[in-house]
Structure 1
């Protein structure tokens, strides 16, 4: 059978590229001729331009940095492009309007990432399969709405398009409850696609081109959480090892106690986590790969007390860590100074909780495929 997936595979973002690969690859291991639609919205392309547009002082600072490190940053972009080209089979956007091509597909799948978040600049109704002519072919696997604060227009789009789907799932339990109420349909919660593959499968696509020798703490910081960077320095002292940070933020350029990594693409990102002594981050996918590759980690959120039913984008981190018994690895600005560093994660206990979730997620995909065969 043949499947077409739509997701954020072209975002210059590690999680986006890796989850896109994971779903496509997993379907192919099941004998599906899977393709990812090579579509990115105008807003997404504008977000990931090499130089930012604008006239503010921070735009000037970031563009100056980009100019100074242009060779390394271009190398990173090339590695993203190489990863997509060699690892994700693509189909062109002619599928949007070509009835013949659509008839050749047995199923269309909304993939993961925040493709259902109407508040992002990336979003368009294409990510709700508005172009698919046959409702029976519409399904979703683990998309995220990102936040529970969606506009009335986005909610109406959910009702119009998602109610057509034969199989509906999302990535977070909070999003599942929210969507179920809006569309008056059952919405399942499944794991992010990266969990469909095990550690050995991920090691086969990892690249050692940015590999570092010896023990190190790996940092990947998105924005800022109070205490996060200070805690990373504390980890380096505790383990008596170097600290590397995959550069995403100007805050990390001038901290000479952390060595910046400029050139890592998706395959290098996996390898850097795999060889780290410990990971310090506020990234959902950094902790996801830490769990998959069985690496100790600490993850920061702005407020650990926020529950999965409240409106906050960090719920995906809280939902995931709670589901596998790792809530004690989540830190916020009120508690990072008092945490005990020496206790390692017991991954045997983690996998006792993770494996049933994996089975359930794979069973959901099997139902998608069985329904696709019956269409």
Structure 2
């Protein structure tokens, strides 16, 4: 009996060794599949037909003739679920300027009719305050009265039923104290709305493509305004870089936000993937990008797996960025190619919206 037990033990030991050897030959166990989170935000900045001035009133029929692809990708559904009309001059808004191009600081082309053109199709609309051209005017307006500027932005949001985007591109010494006053004043009128049911409560900010430009703004936004435990702003847009990046370069830039920059002094903290989108060009200079015309060969398609699975690394708990933003609809430059006919974007942005199952209207956004 004892010999039999020993024999069985020896056989068991040999079997275990054999199984271990076979498992080593088979290689390491496959990693667990990354959690896939569907894209929530799929939007476009819009520059009207005059290089982002929005200086003239446009009728709905004429506007539709140049922008129909945004509301119909070919199957009757919109190509995007968010449009950001760009730009409002912050100093003119503060001063309530009425002149040839503005009424009470709002560009004359940003009318209720244009807002309704999009919202009637379930597309959320925001007004962007700033842009690189108006960086100095942001500085001046904030120095004069950041609180009043925030109140006037909130009044515009109420009047038109839109959200507001902060596009303050000051790379050196931004006035963060007064920008905080702007945000606090806006939130006093339109409190943070996690459900996303109040369009005027949507308040976002633009940050750099990665963490190596607009460092002070990136740091402040990640540390204080985009936290998942105490959110102040809804989300950030990682803006386009100087030119259309490769998929690898864009991913590297966006990963910088997720990782933060601990080596900086003071450090830039990590940003939750659920708190930002990534920006790409649809038309750039004299080139119409596949982002506009051919989703199958686009950087958007190449990046979609990363955008839907990017894992948090110090902030947030859910995988996946919020989605994509595209620069820019219609005519962002007086000399470059835009997205008006014949260069419309049903085959790029529209096909991408279909392939990714982009929801319209914009859903409630993840909070973690």
Q: Which has the larger Rg?
A: 2
- Common fold, TM-score beyond 0.5? no
Instruction: Please give the TM-score of this superposition, normalised by the length of structure 2.
Output: 0.31
More helix per residue: 1 or 2?
1
TM normalised by structure 1 equals 0.30
